[in-house]
Amino acid sequence: MSKRTDLISKITTNLSAYTAFTVSSEMPFISGGIPLYEKNMKTIYVGEQNIGVGELYDTLDGQVINETTTNINAYLSVDAKEQLTNIDTVIAQILLARNGIANTVTSTSEYDTDIVNDVITYTFEFNFTTV
């Protein structure tokens, strides 16, 4: 399974108690000039995996040990006029989904907010490192 698939599964599990929110398996593409996560508010969209490979270290016997970093963004939009009372808990559960990804050496998650007109968009960034 891919890290993206695992992340979608873990976010879905973490948000199972929050019935107002759904998780889509679709990519967050733009339809009619508007991203899907803005059209379908309270739906989390997980983007494509961006994978980078770099040299971690070079051993004395000439072997190269590489590390692979996988970056995945996720998006959630909500109505700014009617702020949800449990949004902080929902954000925390989405961020904690990083802990459910197996075979990683390190995993980090953070988010940023953007307010345009009456829509708050949360952009989550997940980074996973494997050796």
pLDDT of residue 62: 77
Is the CATH number 3.30.70.3270 carried by domain 3-130? Answer: no
pLDDT by 10-residue block (mean), the chain, 131 residues: 92 95 93 91 96 82 86 96 91 96 93 94 96 86
Whether 65 contacts 121, CB under 8 Å: no
pLDDT of residue 55: 81
Predicted TM-score (pTM) of the model is 0.90
Measured distance CA(70)–CA(64) in Å, rounded: 19
pLDDT of residue 1: 67
Measured distance CA(131)–CA(68) in Å, rounded: 6
